[in-house]
Homo-oligomer: A and B are copies of this chain.
């Protein structure tokens, strides 16, 4: 980001300098002002395109990692443990497998899930996963 802006600024300065230099020394008598302006326009359009690409690319790499995540989780009052269970459910694990992974009993997992269903306002685990993903709670 900073680098992009820096490069853009430098290019701008250098180009302005060069163009003026050549304008004064050689071109002004041979080329019309239209052509001069055209080249400047062309070059800076290119620079704009390049800078735009850089900037949008960066925001596209930086933005995907959640945002609403935390906010929504807090709003829904979903606890740490519940979120862990939710993530494992989303991976397609059974209650038993989740329980083993978290070193708790199946009953505990089921309790967490019940609370999750209530908070997410769903009835089944598949719906919970669906909703959680759409809310960017997980993945």
Point out residues on A near B: beta carbons under 8 Å.
12, 15-16, 19-20, 23, 33-34, 37-38, 40-42, 44-53, 56, 89-94, 122-131
Closest to A36 in B: B37
CB of A33, distance to nearest CB on chain B (Å): 6
Q: How far is the CA of A113 from the CA of B72 in the complex (A)?
A: 33
Could you say which residues of chain B place their CB within 8 Å of the CB of A90? 126, 130
Q: How far is the CA of A47 from the CA of B48 in the complex (A)?
A: 7
24 contacts between A and B (CB under 8 A): A16-B34, A16-B38, A16-B41, A23-B33, A37-B40, A42-B44, A44-B48, A45-B45, A45-B47, A48-B50, A48-B51, A48-B52, A52-B53, A53-B56, A56-B56, A89-B126, A92-B122, A92-B126, A92-B127, A92-B128, A92-B129, A92-B130, A92-B131, A93-B126
Known A-B contacts A52-B49, A52-B56, A124-B94; the reply to A12 vs B34 at CB < 8 A is no
Q: How far is the CA of A93 from the CA of B124 in the complex (A)?
A: 8
A44-B44, A52-B52, A90-B130 are known; give 20 further A-B pairs, CB within 8 A: A12-B41, A15-B41, A16-B41, A20-B34, A20-B37, A37-B40, A40-B40, A44-B48, A45-B48, A45-B51, A48-B49, A49-B51, A50-B52, A52-B56, A53-B56, A56-B56, A90-B126, A92-B126, A92-B131, A126-B129
